[in-house]
Amino acid sequence: MPKLTAKSATLLVLAALIAVTPFFFPSGYYYRIGALIFVNGLAVTGIVILTGYAGQISLGHAGFAGIGGYACALAPTHLGLHPSLAVVLGAVISGVLAYLVGRPILRLKGYYLAVATLGFGILVSMVLNNERRLTGGPDGIAVPELGLRGLLKDWGLDLTNGEFWYFFCGLVLLIGAWIALNLHQSPSGRALRALHGSEIAAGTVGIDVARVKLQAFVISAVYASVAGSLVALQNKFITPDVAGFMHSIEMVTMAVLGGAGSVLGAIFGAGILTLLPQALTVFAEYEQLVLGLVMMLVMIFLREGLLPSILRKLRGRGE
Amino acid sequence: MTLLSVEGLGIAFGGIKAVHDVSFKVEPGEIVSVIGPNGAGKTTLFNMISGVYQPGSGRVVLEGEDVTGMAPFRLAQRGMSRTFQNLQIFQNMTVLENAISGFHLQEKGPVLADLLHLPSSRRRARAADAGARKLLARVGLERAADREAGNLSYGSLKRLEIARALAMKPKVLLLDEPAAGCNAVETEEIDHLIAEVAASGTAILLVEHDMKMVMRISSHIVVLDHGEKIAEGAPAEVSRNPAVIAAYLGTEEGADADG
Amino acid sequence: MSELLQFLFSGLTVGAVYALVALGFTIIYNASDVVNFAQGEFVMLGGMITWFAHAAGLPLPLAALIAIVATAALGVAINKLAIEPARGAPVVSLIIITIGASVFLQGAAQLVFDKQIHSFPAFSGDTPLRIGGATIQPQSLWVIGGALLVFVGLWLFFTRTLLGRAVLATSNNRLAAQLVGINTNFVMTLSFALSAGIGALAGVLATPITLTAYNVGIGFALKGFAGAMLGGMGNPKGALAGGFLIGLIEALTAGYLSSTYKEAAAFVVILLVLFFMPQGLFGRKSTERV
């Protein structure tokens, strides 16, 4: 039997989970939760590239999710763009913005990046809250229908709304994971991981550290943006919360909880933190308490994250 | 044209002159060693030449181009590479990946091709992979290729770092104590490796405490004491120089006899 | 003219709060190289605990004292429980830990107190003082005076006392400090207590003007950091000047440009500083050891 590469193994596990889990859904509502996990997983995959591969941090990636989301709300009505193109427009704006913001910030180290990204996220959410005439302010704004489900129906594939978004988001997550895994083993990805290992040594082998950091920042911004677009399109509504500070924190926490170094681990983390509020109805009140606690505990005791630690244990037992 | 020329290089930390007015030249295929007692400023000198520190005064000229204080990655593009006294290995990667990253300048390409796993990206990665395996074989690490770099022995990591630097086919290679912490067998292996690399035309600039090794392989020696150059010349000349003996060799030979 | 003076007064008032936060950042940064993102939560706790104790019937000075001591104790707990166990961790891990502490404290404040906006009476009444056609609240003088007093106190502590010099020595070289017999763990504890206490004091002084709620901390942290960075990370003088400058920039932005986007001023300053003078106004160049 040919040996499975880590990449195909990850993709197979992911695809199998997406395909099989619906058989165990007690009700249609669970499709919605599944789709939410996939969207969060997508955003967190971007964090894996930035934090897990390149070792950089962002506390403002929700800002890019906000841009992606509001692009889907605004571009169709104001520019007459099809919602699917609005997703692309949002991603482009996010990428360009990440480039412009990242250029000065990424020349410097950790703390500055954290603060500047934090400020950037707050700025975006401030604009979304304050520019009422355009964004509807804190109450949010309606988002047009993507229209893909109707198209599929014409082709004879009749899915409920929940089913459609479940499988559609699952597919996008698979593509996102595939891209992130491609990057991992590619020359560009190696450069990112090298600078994570030692910035000084990365320089001596000719890696333009500032440039590749910027690449990682832009790529992860595009992930967050697309995730934000998907949330908006699925809910047909969006509020500035998507760009809020707590959403940025959620993304980072999901990534480090599952294991920022691995795509599957991070998606696993996204799954746990998305399910938690569903399982505990009182969770809403404790959300910040729990998120903060998880961030501290994981960084102190399980720096690799949950999934890699579990796998290591299992492997250790097997040998 | 001189390959590497160091002209009056100096730096001060908090008013204290760590290195002062040091000049020397390195030609292709030469092995130039910088020696001196601990704290003489050897590593500081290396850090200035390789762009890690901005020199306070003086110039570094590489093939006629002033590269003083240039960022390490730009120096790498111009053919200068280095290893580190206290090892700078990518601990988060395998041994093979560490070696491959030495090929960065050859394997890098459009990031979009890498994201989409296009044939061009795979071709670049395959070439680097093959080159890296050859290099690992050359430094005797081919069987450790898939191990986590962090799990290697100290001597192996030293060789891995040299392999990574060699991957760039540098014109000048700065080696900061390549044999430190290695046993006699490992030292001899590194010794051969350095001679071999120099024979292929690469200039070597070496900081090393193992005097026997320095005397054996150097074509030229620069002696530092308290941040200043006190002597330079062929190994035989330097070892007879009274100033050098006073500053350095006397104490070091005693230490050597113990080891 | 009186309009400008009015803006300057309000800028100096908020600037004093930011200066206190920036000083708190600086103390911990110097002692441990950690940037403590929970710094703003100390301000929040100072305000919230004082409000809570005062509302429970305690006299205001006692309530304030309890708030400052309790917050200082919390600061020490954060150091012991979250930061010391992670010594030597990469910067990214430390950022996540202190941000985690910040989010945790917000969550805890929500549960222990509530999600409402609170205040308590100003120390010397609400009758504004008239100066040159503009007015200033007596409480503003408390805040500005407090910041200056803390700065002078810190300066005396660091230059005139043995303990203060031990802290400075630790910040210069931890290992060397240990070798000459300085208990660096104690220095860390002291730094967190001092820093948290100063943050809480800022909260106590500012709440009658700025009001407080469980979620005000992150804004203070961001602006305090902007101030510390503008002044030059690790430099107390810079932190003081930087904090006041950020306050003034914010007030002038609010007055002449847009009050909705005054919050953005700090962020723009961060970006400009990064662009044009990464070392800050009073900063020194740092050299990485290899």
Contact B111 A219 (CB under 8 A): yes
Measured torsion, CA atoms of residues C11, C13, C19, C24, in degrees rounded to the nearest 10: -140
H helical segments located in B78-118: 95-101, 104-107, 111-115
Contact B43 C288 (CB under 8 A): no
Measured in angstroms, the CA of B225 and the nearest CA of chain A are apart by 27
- In the prediction, which pLDDT does A182 show? 96
- Average pLDDT of adjacent 10-residue blocks, chain B of 259 residues: 92 85 94 88 91 92 93 94 90 94 93 93 94 92 91 88 93 91 84 90 91 90 91 89 75 42
Q: Per-residue pLDDT for C278 more than 80?
A: no
Residue that wins the pLDDT comparison between B14 and C205: C205
Q: Which H, E and C letters describe chain A, residue by residue?
A: CCCCCHHHHHHHHHHHHHHHHHHHCCCCHHHHHHHHHHHHHHHHHHHHHHHHHCCCCCCCHHHHHHHHHHHHHHHHHHHCCCHHHHHHHHHHHHHHHHHHHHHHHCCCCHHHHHHHHHHHHHHHHHHHHHCHHHHCHHHCEECCCCCHHHHHHHCCCCCCHHHHHHHHHHHHHHHHHHHHHHHHHCHHHHHHHHHHHCHHHHHHCCCCHHHHHHHHHHHHHHHHHHHHHHHHHHHCEECHHHHCHHHHHHHHHHHHHHCCCCHHHHHHHHHHHHHHHHHCCCHHHHHHHHHHHHHHHHHHHCCCCHHHHHHHHHHHHHC
The total of structural domains in chain C comes to 1
Residue that wins the pLDDT comparison between C248 and C276: C248
- In the prediction, which pLDDT does B81 show? 92
Q: Is residue B84 part of a domain?
A: no
Q: Is residue C238 part of a domain?
A: yes
Q: Is residue C282 part of a domain?
A: no
- Among B169, B200, B216, the domain-final residue is B169
A205-227 pLDDT tens trace: 999 999 999 999 999 999 999 99
- In the prediction, which pLDDT does A68 show? 97
Q: Per-residue pLDDT for A53 more than 50?
A: yes
Contact C290 B43 (CB under 8 A): yes
- In the prediction, which pLDDT does C177 show? 81
Percent of chain A whose predicted confidence (pLDDT) is above 90: 61
Q: Is residue B71 part of a domain?
A: yes
Residue that wins the pLDDT comparison between B204 and A114: B204
Whether chain C has a CB inside 8 Å of the CB on A292: the answer is yes
Based on the fold, state whether residues B120 and B8 are members of the same structural domain.
no
The closest of C188, C280, C177 to C236, measured between CA atoms, is C280
List, in order, residues 6 or more apart from A236 with CB less than 8 Å away: A142, A143, A144, A145
Based on the fold, state whether residues B155 and B206 are members of the same structural domain.
no
Q: Is residue B100 part of a domain?
A: yes
Q: What is the mean pLDDT of chain A?
A: 90
By residue range, what is the domain housing residue C33? 2-125+137-276
Whether chain C has a CB inside 8 Å of the CB on A99: the answer is no
Q: Is residue C227 part of a domain?
A: yes
Whether chain C has a CB inside 8 Å of the CB on B86: the answer is yes
Cα B100 to chain centroid, rounded: 18
Report the residue of chain B nearest C284, measured CA to CA: B14
- In the prediction, which pLDDT does C1 show? 67
Q: Is residue A239 part of a domain?
A: yes
The total of structural domains in chain A comes to 1
List, in order, residues 6 or more apart from B30 with CB less than 8 Å away: B198, B203, B204, B219, B220
By residue range, what is the domain housing residue B162? 90-169
Long-range contacts of C83-89 (CB under 8 A, 24+ apart): C83/C32, C83/C34, C83/C36, C83/C188, C83/C192, C84/C185, C84/C188, C85/A300, C86/A299, C86/A300, C89/A299, C89/A303
- Among B137, B169, B201, the domain-final residue is B169
Least confident of B244-258, C12-26, C163-177: B244-258
Q: Is residue B136 part of a domain?
A: yes
Residue C141, number of CB atoms within 10 A of its CB: 17
Q: Is residue A149 part of a domain?
A: yes
C30-80 pLDDT tens trace: 888 888 999 999 999 999 999 999 999 999 999 999 999 999 999 999 999
Contact C105 A292 (CB under 8 A): yes
Domain of A35: which CATH number?
A: 1.10.3470
Chain A residues close to C267, C-beta within 8 Å: 116, 119-120, 122-123
Q: Is residue C130 part of a domain?
A: no
- In the prediction, which pLDDT does B253 show? 45
Q: Is residue B116 part of a domain?
A: yes
Contact C290 B86 (CB under 8 A): yes
Whether chain A has a CB inside 8 Å of the CB on C260: the answer is yes
The closest of B46, B21, B16, B44 to B33, measured between CA atoms, is B46
Based on the fold, state whether residues B184 and B199 are members of the same structural domain.
yes
Domain of B31: which CATH number?
A: 3.40.50.300
- Among B150, B169, B188, the domain-final residue is B169
- In the prediction, which pLDDT does B254 show? 40
Q: Is residue B202 part of a domain?
A: yes
Based on the fold, state whether residues B58 and B125 are members of the same structural domain.
no
Measured in angstroms, the CA of C115 and the nearest CA of chain B are apart by 43
- In the prediction, which pLDDT does B251 show? 53
Based on the fold, state whether residues B189 and B157 are members of the same structural domain.
no
Q: Is residue B19 part of a domain?
A: yes
By residue range, what is the domain housing residue A97? 6-318
- In the prediction, which pLDDT does A184 show? 93
Task: Give residue A307's pLDDT band: very low, low, confident or very high (50, 70, 90).
Answer: confident
Q: Is residue A1 part of a domain?
A: no
Q: Per-residue pLDDT for A17 more than 80?
A: yes
Measured in angstroms, the CA of A35 and the nearest CA of chain B are apart by 24
Chain C residues close to B88, C-beta within 8 Å: 290
Contact A198 B73 (CB under 8 A): no
Domain of C245: which CATH number?
A: 1.10.3470
- In the prediction, which pLDDT does C262 show? 82
| Cα–Cα dist C131/C141, whole Å | 12
